[in-house]
Structure 1
Amino acid sequence: MNHIILASHGHMAKGIKDTLNMIIGNAEGVKAFSSYRDEDENIREAVEREVKNNYETKDIYILTDIFGGSVNNELISLLKEYPNIHIISGMNLPLVISIATCDDISEKLLEEFIKESRESIVNCNNLLKNLNNEGGEDL
């Protein structure tokens, strides 16, 4: 399994990790870090420590909640020191599952995972409306 670091505002990262464990089983290579919670330490320091401890093993994928947000901005600076890590913003469960369940991820495959995760966001109201307009059956 790839080493994955989930980092978010609040408890989003921990929630995604919990759900991932329910779906694929114990995801030992996945760590979750929350920012701006009273009990949490500085997220950059915690993530950097995790990167240092695992940098020589497999690729490290850092997924953050929102591009341009403070968590993402703090962690992007790690790319200067650790050029072989991958930082992806806008994490969602389909993206995390794809990365967690694939052993050898090329840049092309990573871009495909990102594309698929975007496509997993669907306005079901419009989907149903379009099906009804086309004479399709209800969902």
Structure 2
Amino acid sequence: MNKYLIATHGELAKGIKSTIELFAGQEQPISYISAYTDGTKDLDEELNGFFDGLNDEDSAVIFTDLYGGSVNQKVSVMAAGRKNIFIITGFNLPVILETVLGQAKITQDFIESVIKKGKDNLKQVQLQSDIDENEQDFFE
């Protein structure tokens, strides 16, 4: 089974959860950890709970917010030596949706493809002035 974890500093994971549920529904096998916030469990305990819930047949993709950040470091240490676990850091919403909604088996090639798509979709919107809305499609 494919399982997912979104682990971030602060409430980012909570906000991402809300948005993912809007697009993908609430039945996705995604866990969320908002680290270092008041009223949350200890990060190590929460991560142990996620890793303890994986079996040998599971594949897991873990999304962290900052490469080299404390959340990413703890996830990396706990994931070391385990098979079928992939960590994507510095994620964006399209990367998560592509991963969670994709029907492909989670492999290294799949992860690399999703990351490439995420990079390709990161772009600046070029603003133009004096264009009549009826003259041009916004996404041309």
The corresponding residue for 2:121 is 120
The corresponding residue for 1:99 is 99
Structure 1 position 138, deviation (Å): 6.7
The percent identity for this pair of structures is 29
TM-score (norm 2): 0.83
Following the alignment from structure 1 to structure 2, what is the Cα–Cα distance between the partners of residues 96 and 27? 15
Residues 66-109 of structure 1 show CA distances to partners (whole Å, capped at 9, x for unaligned) of 10111111111012242431111012111111111123122112
One-letter amino acid of the structure 1 residue matched with residue 101 of structure 2: T
CA RMSD, 1 decimal: 2.0
Following the alignment from structure 1 to structure 2, what is the Cα–Cα distance between the partners of residues 25 and 138? 30
1:77 is paired with a residue whose SS is helix
Unpaired segments ≥5 residues, structure 2: none
TM-score (norm 1): 0.83
2:122 is paired with a residue whose SS is coil
The corresponding residue for 2:41 is 41
Structure 1 position 59, deviation (Å): 0.4
Length, aligned pairs only:
132
Unpaired segments ≥5 residues, structure 1: none
1:67 is paired with a residue whose SS is coil
Contact kept? 1:4, 1:29, Cα under 8 Å: yes
Structure with a larger share of its residues in helix: 1
One-letter amino acid of the structure 1 residue matched with residue 46 of structure 2: A
Contact kept? 1:4, 1:30, Cα under 8 Å: yes
Task: Compare 68-77 and 39-48 and name the one that shifted more.
Answer: 39-48
Following the alignment from structure 1 to structure 2, what is the Cα–Cα distance between the partners of residues 56 and 17? 26
Following the alignment from structure 2 to structure 1, what is the Cα–Cα distance between the partners of residues 16 and 51? 20
Following the alignment from structure 2 to structure 1, what is the Cα–Cα distance between the partners of residues 73 and 23? 30
Following the alignment from structure 1 to structure 2, what is the Cα–Cα distance between the partners of residues 102 and 31? 17
Following the alignment from structure 2 to structure 1, what is the Cα–Cα distance between the partners of residues 44 and 96? 20
One-letter amino acid of the structure 2 residue matched with residue 116 of structure 1: K
